[in-house]
Amino acid sequence: MRSAGFLVFVILSLIELRTSSSADDTLEFQKTLPPPVMVWALKGHNVELPCDVSLPTPEDRINMILWFKDTTGIPFYSLDARDSELYKAEQMAVSRWYFKFTKSTGGKLMIANVLESDKGVYRCRIDFSDSPTRNFRVQLSLVDPPESIFVMDSQGVEVHNVAGPYFEGYDLQLSCTVKGGRPKPSVSWWMNGTKIDDFTEQVFQDQSTNRLLIPVVTRDLWQAVVECRASSTPSIPAQIKTIQLDVYLKPLTIKIVQSGSRELSVGRSHQIQCESVGSVPAANITWFLDGDTIKHSFVTVMDGTERTVSNLTLQVDAHDHGKELTCRAENSRMYAPAITHSIRLNVTYPPILSVKPVSIMDLDQIREGDDLQLNCKVDANPPIRYINWYHGSQVISTTSEVRHQDHRRLFLTNLNASSSGEYVCVASNSEGVSRSVPYNLKLLHTPECAPGTYSTMIGALRHETVEVKCAVKSNPESGVKFSWTYNNSRETLPIPGSRVSSDGLTSSVQYTPITESDFGTLACWASNQIGKQRVPCLCILFKPKHPTLLPTVPSTTKRPSSPAALVMTAASSSTSLWRSATQRTPLIMKWIPLPMQSFPNSSTIKTQMVVLPLYTESATMRPSLVWTRWIRTIPMTCTCLL
C-alpha cells in the first residue's frame, strides 16, 4: 500500500509540474537562455552535471530543482524542497541519477554508467521562494578516445619502448602523434611527473602532434622515462605512451691505483688497477707504456653503475724505469674525446754494470809502462752500496761506500805484462749483487816466458843430441824473433841460427854436448816490435847419474780382501816405472805404465814415486812384486814380498 501511494504522489506531482512550468519551458523560451556549459563524459563512466544553486539573496530559499533533457517539457528528475531543507529534500527514485548538494561544491547531478543515449542538452531549473526561476544549461557530449598514439624519432622511425641511443652533449628529438579522438586531444610530454612540453600542432585534420626537442642531452637523462600524454578533457584520464631513453655517457674520471709499494721490483708480477667512472656503456680501457699498447688486461664492469675497472698484471725490467704508464678510457660508441691518467714507473733492479776505459789514447796501443783508468759504469735503482774490482779471480780494489764518480774508477799505473787479462767490477744494492761483463785488457808488451817454462832441466849424455824448446807469450803475437845463447861457468856464447827453429811463439834448438864443459845453461831470448825480452827462458843441461832404487814400504797392514799400498821410489830423469807380479799374486795384472809423482830430491836430479793399491784373498798368501826401471838399456829391478 505504501509503494502504491508513493507512485500516485509522483504522478500527481508530474501533472502539477507540467501544468505549472509549461509556460517557461517552451522552445522559444529555451532559445533565450545562455549557451550551455560543455561537459564531456566517457561512455561507461560516471559524470557530474553542474547546476548553479546559489541563492540570489540570503533571505531567499530553493523550493524545487527540476532537470530536463533536450527540448522536452517534462522533467526526468526533480527535487522538492518546499517543506524541508534542500539537503533533506526528497528525491525521485531514479536508478542512474542522483543529485548531490554541498555548500562547497554546489549542486551536481550525478549520472552513473553513461550511455550513448545520455548525450544531449540538459537544463537545470531552480525555483526560489521569492526570486525568479533560474535556468542553467549543460551540454553533455561523449568522448571518443584516440584511435592510436605513436612516437617517432628524428629519422621517422617509430619508437615502441626504448628511444635512442642519444649521446651526451648532443640533441634529442621525439615526436608524439595522436590520431582521432573527440574532442581533439591535447598532446604533451612529461618526465618524472613534470610537464616539459605541451605545444600541440595540427598536422592533419584527424591528427595532433607534439614535437619534443631537448637541445643538449645531459647526464640526468640516463635511464630517464618520458611520457607522451593524449588528453581530451581534464576529467577523462589521459592516454599515455611511455618511452625509455637510452643515453650514452662520456667517462668523467679516470685514475690508476697501484696496490702495495709504489716501487716495482724487476722479476716480479705487479697488480695495477685503473678505474674509470661515468661511461655508459662501459668504457673501453687501454694501457700504454711510453706510447706502446699493453695487451692482456682484465676488465670488470660494475653492474648498475657507471664504474669500469681494468686490472693489469705488469712485469717490468730495468729499461722500464722512468717510463710513463698511461691508462686511457673512452666510450667507443659515441663521439667524445678519451680521458687519460699517467704515472711514472719507479722500477727497482740490481746494478747493471759495464767496464769502460777512461782514456784519450788509442786503446790498441796501450803498452808496458802506460797508465790506465777503468770506469765501472753503473745503472742501478736504488743506488749501489759498494764496488769491488777483480783482476781475474783476484780482488784488487774494494770501495765500501760509493759517493762520487771517482769511487767507481780503477787506477792502473806502470802497466806490465801481468796487467793483461780480464777486469770485472762487482756492485750491489738492495735488489741484488751484479758482475760486469769482463773487460779484457790486451797490453802491448815484450815477450816473456810462457807459464811453467821459466827454467827447465834436461839430462843428456856426451855426443847425444837433444832438442831444447822455448815458449813465450807476446802481444803482439806476430813478428816474434828468437835467439839462443849458451852459458857455462866460464863464458856465454851465441848459438848459431842454423841450429834454431822458430814457429810463432815457440822456438827449439838442437844441441849436442861433446865435452864436460858443454854442459851448462841454454838461454832463449825473444823480441817483438815493443822490445826485447827482459828475462830469458833457461834450460839447464846436465849429465845424468845412474838412479838409486829405494826400498818399497808397505803403507798399511795387510788383511784379507783389503787394499795395501806399496810405495816405490826411484831416481831418474824422465822415464816411467813398470811393475810385474809373481804367479802367487791373487790378482794378475798386466804390464802397464803407472803415473808418477815427481818431487825435487836435489838440484840436479828428480825422484819419482808410484803408489800402487794391492789386494790379497787371504792372509797366508804373500804375493811378490817385481818393479823394473830402465835407464837406457840397463834395467833396474826391485822385488817386494808382501
What residue ranges do the domains of the chain occupy?
2-142, 148-248, 253-344, 349-441, 445-542, 553-641
- Kindly indicate whether the domain formed by 553-641 is annotated with CATH number 2.60.40: yes
* Per-residue model confidence (pLDDT) at position 346: 94
* Per-residue model confidence (pLDDT) at position 404: 53
- The CA–CA distances, whole Å, from 493 to 85, 242, 444, 518, 520 equal 170, 125, 30, 11, 11
- The CA–CA distances, whole Å, from 156 to 247, 461, 635 equal 19, 124, 125
Grid coordinates belonging to 558: 795387510
Helix (H, G, I), strand (E, B), or coil: what is residue 120? strand
| DSSP string for residues in 251-306 | --EEEEEE-S-SEEETTSEEEEEEEEES-BSPPEEEEEETTEEE---EEEE-TTSS
At which residue does the C-alpha cell 742501478 appear? 380
Helix (H, G, I), strand (E, B), or coil: what is residue 226? strand
pTM comes to: 0.58
Grid coordinates belonging to 505: 811463439
CA 359/CA 411 separation, integer angstroms: 11
Tell me the pairing of strands 239-248 and 624-631.
unpaired
Under-50 pLDDT residues of the chain: 1-12, 14-23, 552-624, 629-635, 639, 641-642
- Kindly indicate whether the domain formed by 2-142 is annotated with CATH number 2.60.40.10: yes
Q: Return the H-helix or E-strand segment holding 3.
A: helix 2-21
Show Cβ contacts of residue 351 under 8 Å, excluding neighbours closer than 6 positions.
378, 379, 380, 384, 427, 428, 429, 432, 433, 434
CA 38/CA 183 separation, integer angstroms: 11
* Per-residue model confidence (pLDDT) at position 304: 62
Report yes or no: 212 and 218 within 8 Å, Cβ to Cβ: no
* Per-residue model confidence (pLDDT) at position 539: 92
* Per-residue model confidence (pLDDT) at position 409: 87
CATH class of the region 349-441: mainly beta
β partners of residue 569: 609
Fold of the CATH domain 148-248: Immunoglobulin-like (2.60.40)
CA 137/CA 131 separation, integer angstroms: 19
For the chain, state the CA radius of gyration: 63
Q: What is the CATH number of domain 253-344?
A: 2.60.40.10
* Per-residue model confidence (pLDDT) at position 303: 61
CA 618/CA 573 separation, integer angstroms: 38
Report yes or no: 110 and 79 within 8 Å, Cβ to Cβ: no
Helix (H, G, I), strand (E, B), or coil: what is residue 414? coil
Q: In what order do the strands lie in the sheet with 307-315?
A: 253-258, 269-277, 307-315, 298-301
CA 244/CA 161 separation, integer angstroms: 6
Report yes or no: 21 and 72 within 8 Å, Cβ to Cβ: no
Report yes or no: 488 and 516 within 8 Å, Cβ to Cβ: no
* Per-residue model confidence (pLDDT) at position 168: 95
Fold of the CATH domain 445-542: Immunoglobulin-like (2.60.40)
**How many whole angstroms from its chain centre is CA 541?**
78
Do the two domains 148-248 and 445-542 of this chain adopt the same fold?
Answer: yes
